[in-house]
Amino acid sequence: MATPQTVIRPEYDEPLEQAPSSWRAILEIVQALALAVVISVVLNLFVVQVTEVRQRSMEDTLHQNDRVLVSKLDYRFGAPQRGDIVVFNPPIDSSIPYVKRVVALGGETIDLRNGHVFVNDRPIEFPETRGLQTQPQAPRITYPFRVPEGDIFVLGDNRTQSSDSRTFGSVPVTNIIGKVILRFWPPDRLVFFAW
């Protein structure tokens, strides 16, 4: 007849060992997600953001519902340049940012004559521009118009369908959210812009 043996149990049972391991795994996942959220927020606030084009004013360069990547770093290290496509908060009451092309810089004089754009008496055109004529839009903006220092003058590429500086005047550089560097949606129209 066998005698009962004393069973020596380890300090912990196997199920107890698995429980802390499960919690550790969950904690690691939560930490990784929190870090991803923080990185995403920091990138969105200071580096790049995704913006949906909501107007038709930049056709054919950008179409309504296109998605673009906007660099927020460019103008922290340099000034806007003529030809840049920028996203900005317009100096009018609007709940959405605008996307336009920089045509004139602070200190420059812009004129609209015979449907053409002149900056400092030189004709300025971009191959992407649509519309036969670039006409004034608001009587309060008179031409020639001198762009104040620290401002930019913007126009949409689709000149006949664009509400731009011809309507609301120049835009303070401080209103710029960033520079469009990439159109990534729809995928068949993927294009990098000058960066």
Q: How confident is the model over 157-173, as pLDDT tens digits?
A: 888 888 889 999 899 99
pLDDT at 8 over 60: no
Name every residue whose Cβ is closer than 8 Å to that of residue 72 and which is 6 or more positions away in sequence.
45, 46, 47, 48, 49, 177, 178
Which of 5-9, 12-16, 30-34, 64-68 shows the lowest mean pLDDT across its residues?
12-16
Mean pLDDT lowest among 106-115, 120-129, 170-179, 185-194: 185-194
Enumerate domains of the chain plus CATH numbers. Answer: 48-192 (2.10.109.10)
User: Is this prediction's pTM over 0.95?
Assistant: no
Catalytically active residues, by annotation: 57, 100
Q: What is the distance, to the nearest Å, from the Cα of residue 61 to the centroid of all Cα atoms in its chain?
A: 15
Per-residue model confidence (pLDDT) at position 74? 75
